[in-house]
Amino acid sequence: MALVMDVAALTDFLEREFPEVSGEFTILRVGADSITVQLNTGARHLRPGGTVSGPSMFGLADVAMYLAVLAQIGPVALAVTTNCSIDFMRKPAAGVPIVAEARVLKLGRTLAVGDVLLRSGEAGPIVARASLTYAIPPKKDGVK
């Protein structure tokens, strides 16, 4: 499927629609059915012991899949997560950003299904894996 939104358009959308997380995420790349997003980790993302918290990694997986879907369908703010399962596999390295590689596996009219691999750094080991489903709101009068 052809891309509807590129890195610049997705970044603008995220900043406009979700200003509360402005600066939290950096979109590194957008492909035909995938996206790479970095969590800009700071003290607020850490748990005792200095590792990135599970809720922060879950948030990254969710945002990455949301953006991967929007890259294909356009700026539909009301697309929502309907299911997510995440496996935490190893402790991320301290002081290294967490990078998500999200893939859209199936894009239908009302649902999108995908997976996300979270790495400790862009080329580092996989620290978590998530499977997500998104509900896509129906089009109204030909408008998304």
Using one digit for the tens of pLDDT, what is the confidence trace for 58-107?
999 999 999 999 999 999 889 999 999 999 999 998 788 999 999 999 99
pLDDT-above-70 percentage for the chain: 97
Return the amino acid letter for 20: E
CA neighbor of 91 nearest in space, from 52, 65, 122, 144: 52
- Number of domains making up the chain: 1
Could you tell me the CATH number of the domain that includes residue 35? Answer: 3.10.129.10
Q: Is residue 62 a part of any domain in this protein?
A: yes
Structural domain contains residue 106: yes
Residue 128 resides in a domain = yes
Q: What is the bridge-based pairing of β-strands 25-30 and 111-120?
A: unpaired
Q: Tell me the pTM.
A: 0.93
Domain span at residue 90 reads 7-135
Tokens representing 143 are: 């408008």
In a domain, 110, yes or no: yes
